[in-house]
Amino acid sequence: MAIIQNLFKKSPFGPIVEHAKKVHECLEMIKPLMEALVYENYELIHELQARVSKLEYEADLIKHQIREDLPRRFFLPVDREELDGFLECQEKMADYAQDFAVILRIRKTKLHPHVQDKFFALVDQMYQVSGNLLTAAVELKNLAEASFGGAEARQVLSLIQGLGEEEWKADKLARSLSIDIYQLEGKIGTFDIIFYEKMLLKIGAIANEAENAGDFLRAMIIK
């Protein structure tokens, strides 16, 4: 009888993991973009931006499918608002990565050596935050299996624990980088400074959103 069949719909947790992985693929383009910028390889930047755009679109498709399969009246093992919040943070991360790529594309900016190291350090620190988040997020399927309790939940919660500190380090790096950028006032063009700031803000925003996503994930587990 169709009763029991209609009782269950697809669990959203598999697709959410897929979405998180796709978002991270977008983020992984940032380092190559920075390197292309250093070597002033603007064709490569163009190519990479097109790729990020496509990846972000694919992530959107996954997210739409999740939303479609999850009507409001569903009885979920996690809080619906927290799940929505988590998805939104992930989506913003992909969006910011796309924005970052566009910033590099719309103007042939040159990266001044004075700020190069700190920029790369900031990107690496951003990866610390987002990478830890990804490791936690892909555990969602196992969490569902263990019904969000026990050893598996404890493991994921401890992964999320460090996110706050890592994001704080990213913030500090961003501040220090900002100071360095403004020290270049007068030495380089104003528009260069504007674009450095844009880049910095985007990377900082990604780290921020990763931390927020971690918060939502924690709330989902604890319910």
Residues at the contact surface with other proteins, assessed by CB under 8 A: 1-13, 70, 73-78, 139, 142, 144-153, 155, 223
Which amino acid appears at position 135 of this protein? T
Q: Which residues pair with 185 in a beta bridge?
A: 188
Q: How far is the CB of 159 from other proteins (least distance, A)?
A: 13
**Chain position carrying tokens 């929505």:** 84
Q: Which is nearer to other proteins, 73 or 186 (CB)?
A: 73
Q: How far is the CB of 101 from other proteins (least distance, A)?
A: 33
CA–CA gap between residue 132 and residue 24 (Å, rounded): 11
Q: How many residues are listed for the chain in this entry?
A: 223
The residue among 59, 87, 104 whose CA lies nearest residue 195 is: 104
Q: How far is the CB of 62 from other proteins (least distance, A)?
A: 16
Q: Which is nearer to other proteins, 60 or 152 (CB)?
A: 152
The residue among 77, 90, 219, 206 whose CA lies nearest residue 157 is: 219
Q: How far is the CB of 78 from other proteins (least distance, A)?
A: 8
CA–CA gap between residue 102 and residue 74 (Å, rounded): 38
Q: Which is nearer to other proteins, 5 or 190 (CB)?
A: 5
Q: How far is the CB of 65 from other proteins (least distance, A)?
A: 14
Contacts of 126 (CB under 8 A, 6+ apart): 27, 30, 170, 203, 204, 206, 207, 210
CA–CA gap between residue 61 and residue 63 (Å, rounded): 5
Q: Which is nearer to other proteins, 139 or 209 (CB)?
A: 139
Q: Which is nearer to other proteins, 124 or 145 (CB)?
A: 145
* CA-to-CA dists, residue 48 to 27, 119, 147, 197, 218, angstroms: 11, 19, 40, 21, 33
Q: Which is nearer to other proteins, 72 or 113 (CB)?
A: 72
Q: How far is the CB of 22 from other proteins (least distance, A)?
A: 20
